[in-house]
Amino acid sequence: MTDRDFRARLRRGERLVGTLLTLPSPSVAELLAAQGFDWLFVDAEHGAFDHGDVLRVLQAVAGRCACLVRVPGLDPAWIARTLDAGATGIIVPQVHTAADATRAVQLAKYPPQGLRGVGAVRASRYGTAVRDALASANDESVVVVQAESRGAVVASREIAAVPGLDAVFVGPFDLSASLGVPGEVQAPVVQEAIGTIAAACADARMPLGIFGMGPEAVLPHAARGFTLLAAGVDTALLAGAAREVATALRG
């Protein structure tokens, strides 16, 4: 699946399933990419990634599935270097307003649509295919913003209407903290806020995404129209499987 295919499937509203990668390990990324996921959520906001780690992960996955990298913030250098490394797209955390979302799109796109600079990088075959990259990147790169604050809920209709944006991704844990009930993602105030975001995106025909620690946390949202789904974290998956083995061996 090419980056163009992934963006087209996302915008068509197909269900795309993924999981979180927080360990800066090309081997773990390669292993997860081979398990049937449509995409990997590469977490450079909370995971221990530097730019080199992101590049090595993308090289290890190498087309097995899409990689959306959550950058640490609305940072021009991180966004440019992530896309330069060949990521399918970016997930920008802590987007609170339509102006924030517009800025994310601008930083991810080449002129005239945006402000991204041109370099001899992996995404342009290290400078040997710059013209091809400039011709296709704006149509292929995926821009996702996270709605995870009270401000994003209030501005959800304006955010969902931003041109060039490909999806809004709900961060339920940060959203719960912003709403005064940290960690209580099932609290009525959190679920009501998620409903507000979902309604705004549905009206704008903007694809919706969400994360949960397991399928049971995510699938109810799929029934509400969420299509960009991420469940589980590499560390928790490894720890859970290891715990099951240790418990079974002890009888």
Mark out the alpha helices in the chain (DSSP H runs).
Answer: 3-12, 26-33, 51-61, 76-84, 98-108, 130-140, 150-154, 156-160, 172-178, 188-204, 215-222, 234-249
Q: Residues with Cβ < 8 Å from 109, sequence gap 6 or more?
A: 115, 116, 137, 138, 141, 143, 164
Total residues belonging to the chain:
251
Q: How many CA atoms within 13 Å lie on the side-chain side of 161?
A: 8
**The pair of three-digit structure tokens given for residue 90, joined into one six-digit string:** 């970016």
Distance CA 219, CA 226 (A): 9
Paired strand residues for 99: none
Catalytic status, residue 221: no
Options 46, 51, 96, 221, the catalytic residue: 46
**112 preceded by a cis bond (ω within 30 of 0):** yes
* Axis-axis angle for helices 26-33, 51-61 (nearest 10): 40
Distance CA 238, CA 108 (A): 33
Q: 204: closest CA among 100, 69, 101, 91?
A: 101
Paired strand residues for 209: 169, 228
Q: Which residues are catalytic?
A: 46
